[in-house]
Amino acid sequence: MGDRDEEEELQMALRMSLHGSPPAQPEPKRSKPPSPAGESPEAEARRKQRELMAAAAEKRLRAVAPPAAVAPPVTVAPPVTVAPPAAVVVPPPSQPTAVVAEQPSAPEDVKVESESTVVPMEDVKEAEVELEVDVGEEEKGEELHPELAEKLWLMVFGSGVSKAVLAQWSNQGIRFSSDPETAMGLVQHEGGPCGVLATVQAYVLKYLLFFSDNLGNPEVSDPSFALGQRRFYQSSFAARDDFSSLTEDGKTRALVHAMVEILFLCGTGKRAVVAFIGGVIREQKVDAALEGISVESAIDFQKVLRIITFTSRKDAFNMLLANIPLFRSRLGAMLFLISSLLSRGLDCIQADRDDPSQPLVTAPFGHASQEIVNLLLCGEAVPNVFDGKMDLGGGMSLKGIPSDVEVGFLTLLESLNLCKVGQYLKCPKWPIWVVGSESHYTVLFALNPNVQEENELEERESKIRRAFDAQDQSGGGGFIAVEGFQQVLRDTDITFPSDKLDDLCNAGVIVWSEFWQALLQLDKRAGGMKDPTGLMGKKQFTIYHFNGIAKSVLNGSGNTGGSTPIQRPRICKLNVSVPPRWTQDEYLADVVSSSASGSKNDSVLSLAPPVQTACQHAPLVDCIRTRWPRAACSWSGDVPSIV
């Protein structure tokens, strides 16, 4: 009852201070009971909040002069529902104020009985903001419970993390490059957090390239808005590649939109949790306040971290925009990872994973795991990159990507037959892909969404491949059982002659390469891929590769005496030519040559007619060919690097 009485007293003081007249007969002030022993941190924080607000309200009352005339009578209204005092982040004066949502476990509303006056809701919210300024600059936010901090620490870093790995994650901000040529890119100075940076980079490019006219809309990340934009860009429109013309404000807003979209994606579209350092929420405090802060244990997490939960994209956008310097600071990448994990919920994170006993930051080099990358791409910390779930029998299954995604993922490991990336990640809604190698993540993107459009036969092949993969229980090995093969034929309306069908099923399993070879011989009228018209065509387009890790390059005239080394990311423009679909003879030649050589070099794969520029090869090309088979690539300058 004590808490309720204090709340009623506080609300009365607030109402009177807002309306400028003191109470006619103030009640005797009750003495506050001493802090009870064993009071929880959350209860103590709420009690202190009430005390501070009450003191500020009394200060306002004392400053109000008595009214000169009697106020007219007011109508008695039914009880008004007023939100309880919530954590308020005070942004710089030029930015809008973000009022933060209550933690989920707390009641969303409290009832305040009004005996004589109706208090408008906007007045109460305005008063709460003013009161926060009156009480001082102490920043608000929910502390992490010690058990939650310990669970979070073990989930991210495990129990035996090295100081070198912690240093990597404690010294990586989310900052744009100062180099004009790579001005759209985020710079990586430390190894390890590249999985977070590259995925955020992919979303940033989405907004810079395809939402540049809507960056001022704080709710542009809402899926309903993005749907209309995607329909517009399905025309022949292509974004510009003049990255040096990007403004700092535009880049910052694109970054904030990317962060908001990812956090709400992790929160199933319902909430976003923002983690920050207590007391380090305003721009002028960031650099100085972080000087003495180190994050080396769960105790440090609990001591310095504060969290705020948003249910409004607009409020989350305004808070992050006003306080983006904190995420540019050396703890930015770690704070955003923690925000994403808490937005999803730690219990949900563990349920997503196949092996929750392993830390998300992998030893010994501190790389972001595939689970972290997938969390930021699809909102779930699943460990695999195939579509949906893979049933292993006996009630066991492996978890993959649950649905289509905004930006995709390609990996060198698929070209080495070590995994199979599904169509959800290969064919995202926007032509942007995170690219994974054995030890690093980079970004591939196109300016024109039409690079993903397929002609009739390409769509046909994609449908057949999806049906085949749905029956593939080998973990991406490329073979299925006879029963599954019969289902594929039914799902794709393929009719083989009986003798050919018997040949395919004789071994008891059907291998994709043999199935594809048979389809190349089967007329398209029977569901095959043989096209007597020869209208399959060739596709040509331009694509860009960005590697955010800083590399020393010469800056100057190019002469030895006048050039100085600078650190800058790398961007490469590639010309891609995808030849017509394979004929049966070409397919057999490729299979035989690949088997004999044990590798897939460019001379084997480039079976298309010669193009104007010589084909070039790099590991990135192998990644591109997992999306566009047999693509021939060329570029100018340095070889694009995915490490």
Q: What is the pLDDT of residue 240?
A: 75
CB contact burial 341-377 (16+ within 10 A = b; e otherwise): bbbbbeebbeebbeeeeebbbbeeebbbbbbbbbbbb
Q: What is the pLDDT of residues 266-275, one digit of tens each?
A: 999 999 999 9
* Residues 151, 284 share a domain: yes
Compute CA distances 11 → 57, 61, 67, 80, 309, whole Å. Answer: 9, 13, 21, 11, 24
Tell whether 538 is covered by a domain: no
- Regarding pTM above 0.85, the answer is no
Greater confidence (233 vs 492) lies with: 492
Tell me the one-letter amino acid at 383: P
Tell me the one-letter amino acid at 273: V
Tell whether 184 is covered by a domain: yes
For the chain, how many structural domains are there in total? 2
* Residues 269, 164 share a domain: yes
Q: Which of 342, 367, 392 is the last residue of a domain?
A: 367
| Contacts with 276 (C-beta within 8 Å, 6 or more apart), sequence order | 141, 305, 306, 307, 308, 323, 326, 335
Q: What whole-number distance in Å separates Cα of residue 317 and Cα of residue 219?
A: 8
Tell me the average pLDDT across 129-142.
45
pLDDT band, residue 95 (cuts 50/70/90): very low
Compute CA distances 541 → 236, 447, 453, whole Å. Answer: 13, 10, 12
* Residues 334, 201 share a domain: yes
- Rounded to the nearest integer, the mean pLDDT of the chain is 77
Tell me the average pLDDT across 17-42.
49
Instruction: Compute the radius of gyration of the chain from its Cα atoms.
Output: 30
* Residues 362, 472 share a domain: no
* Residues 464, 336 share a domain: no
Q: Classify the C-alpha dihedral 106-111-117-120 as positive or negative.
A: positive
Q: What is the pLDDT of residues 369-401, one digit of tens each?
A: 999 999 999 999 999 999 999 888 888 889 999
Tell whether 430 is covered by a domain: no
CB atoms within 10 A of CB 280: 22
DSSP state of 642: -
CATH number of the structural domain spanning residue 486: 1.10.238.10
For the ranges 57-71, 186-200, 518-532, the maximum mean pLDDT occurs at: 186-200
pLDDT band, residue 109 (cuts 50/70/90): very low
pLDDT band, residue 124 (cuts 50/70/90): very low
Tell whether 298 is covered by a domain: yes
Domain membership of residue 151 as a residue range: 142-367
Tell whether 285 is covered by a domain: yes
Q: What whole-number distance in Å separates Cα of residue 584 and Cα of residue 578?
A: 17
Range in 353-362, 409-418, 499-508, 562-571 the model is least confident about: 562-571
**H/E segment holding residue 152:** helix 146-157
Q: Does residue 191 carry a pLDDT above 70?
A: yes
Q: Which of 492, 526, 560 is the last residue of a domain?
A: 526
Two structure tokens written together for 69 = 């005339």
Q: What is the pLDDT of residue 402?
A: 96
Provide the CA 499 distance to its chain's centre, in angstroms.
Answer: 51
Q: What is the pLDDT of residue 249?
A: 95
Q: Which of 511, 526, 541 is the last residue of a domain?
A: 526
Two structure tokens written together for 418 = 């070590």
